[in-house]
Structure 1
Amino acid sequence: MRTKFNCYIAAVMASVTVLASCGSGQAGNTDTAVSGTETASGTTGSAIVVDKEFTAGDLEVGYEDSTATHVVLDGRNIEVAGEGAEATDGNLIISGEGTYVISGVLDDGQIIVDAGDADKIRIVLNGASITCADNAAIYIKAADKVFITVAEGTENTLEDGAEYVLDDENNVDGVIFSKEDLTINGSGTLNINGNYQHGIASNDDLVITGGNMNITAVRDALNGKDCVKIKDGILNLSVLEGNGIQSKNGDDTTKGYVYICGGGINITKCSEGIEGTAIVIEGGTIDIVAEDDGLNAASDTSGSSTDSDKAAAQIAAAGTPGDTASAEDKTESTAAEGAMPTKEIPSGDIPERDMKPGSTGTADSDAEAAQDGQMAHGGRGGFGGGAMGNDANCYISITGGTTTIDSSGDGIDSNGSIYVSGGTTYVSGPADNNNAGMDYNGSAEITGGTFVVAGSSGMAQGFSETSTQYSVLYNLTSSCDGGTEVKLTDAAGNILVSYTPEKQYQSVVISTPDLEKDDVYNLICGEQTAELTLSSVVTSNGQSGMNWKK
């Protein structure tokens, strides 16, 4: 989990400009994206430029076999038939533009691409197994762009050792490491075992448009400094102590984003599932099990903190000066299980809470206090947006796809803002009160889609009142065990939302396009039930979160 309290707001802000949406790429054998701009709704203020285009080269998996250079690996021997490559000291050196078809087993060596700045290289893995004990299995030092195609019907394996011997100025740190733009496509299987640091790492763009990939790594499974873009493929990712997917760039505030518009992504073990300065999800199926945050929008300048650091910071911002008790201490519930109170919440009614000087308890005064660096809340009944460390360059945008998160830290965490306009999102966790199912420093706006969070109540946040789709934040009187269904029905008993979280929870956030103003709904969480009337675009009631009291 990355703290949101030590972020740096970008000095230069611009509207987010993005290229054409998840498309098939332009015709011809060029790798220049079609020019075009689109301003993403709600993300004004971020300098991140999200390129949504995939070129013809990104998508092309065919090649002319008769003109390709064929390489056969055999233990420590390498046989080359064709131009542009040679075997040297147990390594394959590719120095010229062209297509290189690799097959066989290399016991301890690597493929090194060291070509001209204008050269485009295609490496076809055609049943190849490459192990390098002390460096990257595939090392891309120089080229214009490299495409790795995983041939249909083949299984390929790349592996490195636990320690690297670096023999040049580059900080090589992945089984596949590239200093240049890198695309992986095809329909075959690629197994990557990263024993040193990352699975696949690129200092520029990392683009995936196909392939069945099984990646284990010590650090990040996929790491692209400029961006990680995923259009298709099946990705099974598991990391020991890093992130499933990461893109952050401390040198350029317009880069460092993750863009996903298709494919199937299954992150079974990680610290944080997907981390980038900006995360844009337009399609695909994403399943994340995270020891920390599921989705985390944070810039490269964002620091890290422990859970207790974060709790103390939020309590100090929301409570009385000098109050350093943990969030869990503030929210310990002694209420017995049973029925939740039936209550209509007027749009102007917010729970009484301990205030910092300068706030009188009304929504308007809270906003004024937030501008003074004091307390702010996002949506009724939850802390959120405001001036506390808001990094305007960071955001998470969900417009499509199905995303399911099981997190021990924050489910969806943005050091800036969150925008939801489509798709289906489910979040289970966290169970502890030092984290939240949804956590943000700017605003959280929902205008479409289905969104369900079941997590702890200590720092629970709902959506902001700038939303156009109705939502509910409800803090329960007592916790529910994992495996207890969350269900929302209309007055006639029709089920609008049904979700069974994996973890214990005491707070739920629900929003669907079916919710309408002044209608009555029933929230059912195991044996606890409540009747809710949506009198405001953001309705919140029940036992409140950190530093709030009824």
Structure 2
Amino acid sequence: MRKLNYFITALTITAMIAAGCSVQSGGTKSTTDIVTEAVDTELSGTSSVEKSTEEVSSLPTSLNTTSEVVIDTEFTARDLEVGYEESTAVFIALKDNATEIVGDGATVSDNSITISNEGTYVLSGTLSDGQIIVDVSDTKKIQLVLDNVTINSSLSAPLYIKSADKVFITLKEGSENILTDGTEYVQTDDNNVDGVIFSKADVTFNGSGTINITGNYKHGIVSKDDIVITGGTYNITAVKDAINGKDAVKIMDGIFNLSADTGNGIQSKNGDNTTKGYVYIAGGEINVIKCQEGIEGTVIIVEDGTINIIAADDGMNAASGSSDEATEKGTTTNRTNRLGQEGSNASAPAGGAPDGTAPGNGGGARENPSNFSGGFGGGMDEVDTNCYILITGGTITIDASGDGIDSNGNLYITGGILYIYGPTSNGDGALDYNGTADISGGTVLVAGSAGMAQGFSDTSTQYSLLYNLTSVSTAGTEINLTDAAGAIVASYTPVKEYQSIVISTPELTKDSTYTLTSGEQTAEITLTSVVTSNGQHRMGGSLGNRTAR
């Protein structure tokens, strides 16, 4: 898996801690199975089968047991297969008004090629204004091999999968394929075609070639069923979503450079079926360099891979609703509720308050900056029990102007490394969740604004701290957390100004004292509780203030 080093370098990341374990799984699993196994493995290093009933019953899965979303973590052998039999394949050489077809199953009319029989089709050549249409029965499978194809379509999708059981799009090794569209579409049937690659069927992308997609109308890749990607390089620029799968988006491997002007990098939401609408990432390198929200789904699971997101709004957002919605009503409502419930937090000053009150702590004098007490319990927002975010591995870096991670349900972290930079506004938070945020493994390093800052829930099993500084630290000011012996536990350099810090690593231990330094600001912090905080954290799913244990 290749790395885009320029992105990491630009974020000036220095990690001084070890990553948590990654969990590998397969098959179709329920929500409870996924969360239980992930947390189970991280807590003990064993499978859930080897653990006692008493241990399993203590896992933080109570809210997720009501989620109806069914996660399929399997990638089939056919999803991975990139080969084909040349003797039976149909070869289509694209050329304006002179396309040649060798074999049966496809016809050409002007610059429109229609594939109507099951089989493998190898495409090459150029259409300056044309279209490939797949129209077979919903029991038939098609393989399209793209071998240096360039297709522009001024009035519709260059590749339109109108009907099929499943279509496999193979990017031939060494090939570079280019698909572009116009700024307006003319609809020719009952389907609302709105993407450069538009599919009414399940679609799998594989191979080791490259595809460059420019969506001038709306989306880059759209499927009204599942999108599965097991390899290849994807450079996608779109007006709205770069990748949009209504039922699911599943990524096993590949390199993704995604830019969505007014939409999301990757989205899967289904307003018609509450059991669908999830994003599952098992590997690959994903760079969302421009978007409103980086990854959005009813459920988001990250098991492995390298993910870098720069978002105008949320980095990751778990929310129910329609895949076609341009904005997330839940996010707006949640933000409004949180602003209303804690006026003192919402209006927290950008710098230290002149009367000595602690920003993000609901007012009141703070005699000692290391004297922690539990803040407000995380919000009065309605919990959407169908939503959750689960991170079990990988390295994720989020630069967000809105919430870094926003779950309308729960957040679970059992492994991996997560960096969040931003927001800078006090109306957003680096961590935003409506249920609980449980961490049992991995490393989380956060630097954002203090006004709506949340830490982890005290139902967590790994220790964490949330500390709101008395004044804003400028971008590039290094954060260091050292233990009593002076050894560095965590060190990172945020690329944005910040006033709130959240740190959780496996090295943190109960009753140990640490020194937190940000520029000239220093605090000694004793971890008297699994969550030590002078800001917000949720008390085991309930609301209220209480002194840290």
Q: TM-score range by the shorter chain?
A: 0.7 to 0.9
Match of 2:347 among 328, 335, 354: 328
Q: 1:51 aligns to what?
A: 72
Match of 1:313, SS state, is helix
Match of 1:58, SS state, is helix
Cα shift at 1:498: 1.4
Q: 1:465 aligns to what?
A: 458
Question: Aligned pair in 2 of structure 1 residues 307, 115: CA closer, same or farther (>3 Å)?
Answer: closer
Check if 1:539 corresponds to 2:508.
Answer: no
Q: How does 1:178-193 map to 2 (within 5 A)?
A: 178-193=199-214
Match of 2:461, SS state, is coil
Question: Aligned pair in 2 of structure 1 residues 481, 189: CA closer, same or farther (>3 Å)?
Answer: same
**Identical counterparts, % of pairs:** 58
Q: 1:86 aligns to what?
A: 107
Q: 2:53 aligns to what?
A: none
Tell me, in whole angstroms, the C-alpha distance in 1 between the residues paired with 2:464 and 2:222.
39
Q: How does 1:225-374 map to 2 (within 5 A)?
A: 225-300=246-321, 304=328, 312-318=336-342, 327-328=346-347, 333-334=352-353, 345=371, 350=373
Q: Is the contact made by 2:376 and 2:535 (CA closer than 8 Å) also made in structure 1? A: no
Q: Deviations over 1:38-71 (max 9, x none)?
A: 3423332211111100111111111112211000
Q: Deviations over 1:422-480 (max 9, x none)?
A: 00000000001000000011110000000111000000000001000000000000001
Tell me, in whole angstroms, the C-alpha distance in 2 between the residues paired with 1:523 and 1:292.
29
Q: 2:378 aligns to what?
A: 384
Match of 1:314, SS state, is helix
- Uncovered stretches (5+) of structure 1, i.e. residues with no partner: 1-19, 24-33, 320-324, 351-379
Check if 1:419 corresponds to 2:419.
Answer: no
Tell me, in whole angstroms, the C-alpha distance in 1 between the residues paired with 2:335 and 2:278.
27
Q: Deviations over 1:260-298 (max 9, x none)?
A: 010000000000000000100000000000000000001
Q: Which amino acid aligns with 1:381?
A: G
Tell me, in whole angstroms, the C-alpha distance in 2 between the residues paired with 1:316 and 1:407.
22
Q: 1:40 aligns to what?
A: 35
Match of 2:83, SS state, is coil
Q: Is the contact made by 1:433 and 1:459 (CA closer than 8 Å) also made in structure 2? A: yes
Tell me, in whole angstroms, the C-alpha distance in 2 between the residues paired with 1:262 and 1:469.
25
Check if 1:393 corresponds to 2:386.
Answer: yes
Q: 1:112 aligns to what?
A: 133
Q: Which amino acid aligns with 1:249?
A: N
Q: How does 1:421-440 map to 2 (within 5 A)?
A: 421-440=414-433
Tell me, in whole angstroms, the C-alpha distance in 1 between the residues paired with 2:114 and 2:155.
17
Q: 1:73 aligns to what?
A: 94
Tell me, in whole angstroms, the C-alpha distance in 1 between the residues paired with 2:156 and 2:24.
37
Match of 1:492 among 485, 495, 508: 485
Check if 1:97 corresponds to 2:118.
Answer: yes
Q: Is the contact made by 1:267 and 1:289 (CA closer than 8 Å) also made in structure 2? A: yes
Cα shift at 1:541: 2.6
Q: 1:523 aligns to what?
A: 516
Tell me, in whole angstroms, the C-alpha distance in 2 between the residues paired with 1:54 and 1:308.
35
Q: 2:469 aligns to what?
A: 476
Q: 1:441 aligns to what?
A: 434
Q: Which amino acid aligns with 1:328?
A: S
Task: Compute the TM-score of the two structures, normalised by the length of structure 2.
Answer: 0.83
Q: Deviations over 1:208-240 (max 9, x none)?
A: 111111000000000000010000000000011
Tell me, in whole angstroms, the C-alpha distance in 1 between the residues paired with 2:403 and 2:276.
24
Segment of structure 1 superposing worse, 114-123 or 328-337: 328-337
Q: Deviations over 1:84-141 (max 9, x none)?
A: 1111231110111111000011111111000111111000000100110000010001
Q: 1:453 aligns to what?
A: 446
Question: Aligned pair in 2 of structure 1 residues 88, 21: CA closer, same or farther (>3 Å)?
Answer: farther
RMSD: 2.7
Tell me, in whole angstroms, the C-alpha distance in 1 between the residues paired with 2:277 and 2:262.
21
Q: Is the contact made by 2:351 and 2:471 (CA closer than 8 Å) also made in structure 1? A: no
Match of 2:384, SS state, is coil
Check if 1:63 corresponds to 2:63.
Answer: no
Question: Aligned pair in 2 of structure 1 residues 533, 73: CA closer, same or farther (>3 Å)?
Answer: same
Question: Aligned pair in 2 of structure 1 residues 269, 418: CA closer, same or farther (>3 Å)?
Answer: same
Q: Is the contact made by 2:28 and 2:71 (CA closer than 8 Å) also made in structure 1? A: no
Question: Aligned pair in 2 of structure 1 residues 409, 543: CA closer, same or farther (>3 Å)?
Answer: closer
Match of 2:95, SS state, is strand
Match of 2:338, SS state, is helix
Check if 1:150 corresponds to 2:145.
Answer: no
Q: Deviations over 1:69-89 (max 9, x none)?
A: 000011232110011111123
Tell me, in whole angstroms, the C-alpha distance in 2 between the residues paired with 1:311 and 1:280.
23
Question: Aligned pair in 2 of structure 1 residues 423, 140: CA closer, same or farther (>3 Å)?
Answer: same
Question: Aligned pair in 2 of structure 1 residues 237, 456: CA closer, same or farther (>3 Å)?
Answer: same
Question: Aligned pair in 2 of structure 1 residues 538, 181: CA closer, same or farther (>3 Å)?
Answer: same
Q: Is the contact made by 1:186 and 1:209 (CA closer than 8 Å) also made in structure 2? A: yes
Tell me, in whole angstroms, the C-alpha distance in 2 between the residues paired with 1:276 and 1:542.
28
Q: Is the contact made by 2:351 and 2:470 (CA closer than 8 Å) also made in structure 1? A: no
Match of 2:303, SS state, is strand
Q: Which amino acid aligns with 1:314?
A: R
Q: 1:322 aligns to what?
A: none
Q: 1:209 aligns to what?
A: 230
Tell me, in whole angstroms, the C-alpha distance in 2 between the residues paired with 1:330 and 1:35.
48
Cα shift at 1:334: 2.9
Cα shift at 1:501: 1.2
Q: Is the contact made by 2:454 and 2:536 (CA closer than 8 Å) also made in structure 1? A: no
Check if 1:501 corresponds to 2:494.
Answer: yes
Q: Which amino acid aligns with 2:118?
A: E
